[in-house]
Amino acid sequence: MSDYKLYCFAQSGNAYRAALMLNLIGAKWQPVWVDFFKAGVQRQPEYRTDVNEMGEVPVLVDGEKKMTQSAVILTYLARKTGQYLPKGEDEELEALRWIVFDNQKVNGFLGPYRFLKNFVPTPADPAVMTFMKGRIDNALAIVNKRLEKAPFLLGDRATIADISMCAYLFYPPEEFGFDIAKDHPAIGSWLKRVEALPNWAHPYDIMPGYPFGTQGYRNKKV
């Protein structure tokens, strides 16, 4: 199997989707730390020219191939390995439906909410946070209802739809100010099933940048 490189940092749920997928498929991969907060590497002309013109993570490098956007990376790895791959057109479209919903409605609001709560120098407008929390609650309720019907989003087995959806949900509750697994029991049970998948790992254990602002990892010496 290929040796991959993944541009990432520990606090990025978008990057965690790709990092988790690499772990789950048993890939050999090397994280490349992007100092997003302090150095702003992603804003540098060199990064946008040589790594990703969009100025984002994750970026997956597989030999001569270089891919960005987590949904593209998940799809590529699933097709290449046959693991966590939706089967047939109907499942592919259903997986895409949940990935888009996740990107727009679930983590599309949850990610910015967490960013504003933890990583900006001045407190966010309370009205903005209240609005975003309402959208988060509505979206998570939809996911919870879905997961009351089946172990995983598409049925009895995990696919890239689950790997995408879980991305921000493994970060500590204190980073959100609410406990998603407790507030949404079916999501909580599903997260335990995802965590039980072979080679699962926490974002702070497989991507550099934790403790915050370092190249460290949660369970390794900095």
- Tokens of residue 211, six digits: 């403790």
Over residues 165-205, the pLDDT tens digits come to 999 999 999 999 999 999 999 999 999 999 999 999 999 99
37-49 b/e (C-beta count within 10 Å ≥ 16 → b) = eeeebbeeeebee
**pLDDT for 26:** 98
The CATH fold assigned to 88-195 is Glutathione S-transferase Yfyf (Class Pi); Chain A, domain 2 (1.20.1050)
53-88 confidence digits (pLDDT tens)? 897 899 999 999 999 999 999 999 999 999 999 999
**Token pair of 67 as six digits:** 């891919």
Query: Structural domain boundaries of the chain?
Result: 3-83+201-206, 88-195
Q: Is the dihedral of CA 111, 117, 121, 123 positive or negative?
A: positive
Q: For the domain made up of 3-83+201-206, give the CATH fold.
A: Glutaredoxin (3.40.30)
Q: Any long-range contacts for 34-43 (C-beta under 8 Å, 24+ apart)?
A: 34/7, 34/8, 34/9, 35/9, 35/209, 36/9, 36/11, 36/12, 36/209, 37/11, 37/119, 37/212, 37/213, 38/213
